[in-house]
Chain A
Amino acid sequence: MRYVPTNSMWGPWKGLRQIQREMDRLLGEFPLRRASAFPPVNIWTNEQGALVTAELPGVEADSLDVTATGNTLTVRGQRDLPDGEDGRRWHRRERRGGQFTRTVELPFNIDGDSVHATYRDGVLTIDMQRPEVEKPRKITVQAS
């Protein structure tokens, strides 16, 4: 897993990224950052904690199992796809199914009690906080 500098996502670099993508498209390649692990995740952070989102369409929320240990977050689940019943002739099967386990490492520890997961419109969002004692504290400098 690779962390990328935040400010490269938008702002002055966005145009450059689009050009890069266009180049990739023309050359028939994709940017390296894209992972083929399922489900793909994005990680958002701030000083208090993190938000992990995963594109996971068509699963039962009950089948999802989210655990946090130390600085790692693990999502397990099952994605059931319709299979080849009699009389079904498949023309195309691009959607992926089966059991999956995805573990991501965060840049800090997670307070296990703070983890909240919601599943909506096929996107899993996991909200978590850093342990209170590890959160950065603002120290006021007093004039002597």
Chain B
Amino acid sequence: MSEHTENTALEKTQTQAPQGVEHTRERDMFIPRASIYETDDEFVVMADLPDVRPDAVDITVEENVLRIHGRVTDHRPEGYSLAYQEYEVGDYHREFSLPDKIDADRIAASMDRGVLSLTLPKLKPAHRRIEVTAGAEE
């Protein structure tokens, strides 16, 4: 599985809107940190999307590109002013290229405590026995 972005920084990494797409929300966008592993049956993608509610994640698959987009809850507390800041709040966006062998119809996604888990089952190769026929003997 390959992807279009890298995220090896320890800090939140800022990203731009995908090409040809314009922001409709006036806020920054970040690349979520992700881990990916593969088993014999599936790929599993886990991504950190803190402050994103389960209903605020959009997962789309289009022409073998998996897109993850998470919208954060705006939680700037009222009546307070920011005194110290280590992280910025913004939506999340990341895209991965899927290998051909993914069964896109059976992708499952769940959100738990700000972590997105995606299960991408591999397509089962169709077992077909090919009869080998002996050629006519000369």
Contact = CB atoms under 8 A, between A and B. Distances in A.
B87 A43 contact: no
B83 A33 contact: no
Q: Which range contains the number of B residues in contact with the other chain? A: 35 or more
Contacts of B77: 44, 51
B95 interface: no
A123 B51 contact: yes
Interface in B25-82: 33-40, 43, 46, 48-53, 73, 75, 77, 79-82
B119 interface: no
A6 B53 CA distance: 28
A41 interface: yes
Interface residues of A, number: 48
Interface in A6-51: 6, 9, 21, 25, 30, 33-37, 40-46, 50-51
The B interface, classified by DSSP as helix, strand, loop or mixed, is: loop
Interface stretch (A92-100, A109-117, A133-141): A92-100
A66 interface: no
A42 B82 contact: yes
B7 interface: yes
Contacts of A41: 84, 86-87
A94 B35 CA distance: 6
A95 B50 contact: no
Nearest to B40: A87
B83 A6 contact: yes
Given A35-B86, A44-B77, 15 more contacts: A4-B85, A6-B81, A40-B11, A42-B86, A43-B85, A51-B80, A58-B113, A59-B113, A82-B46, A87-B39, A91-B1, A94-B35, A121-B113, A122-B113, A123-B51
Interface of B: 1, 7-12, 14, 33-40, 43, 46, 48-53, 73, 75, 77, 79-87, 112-115
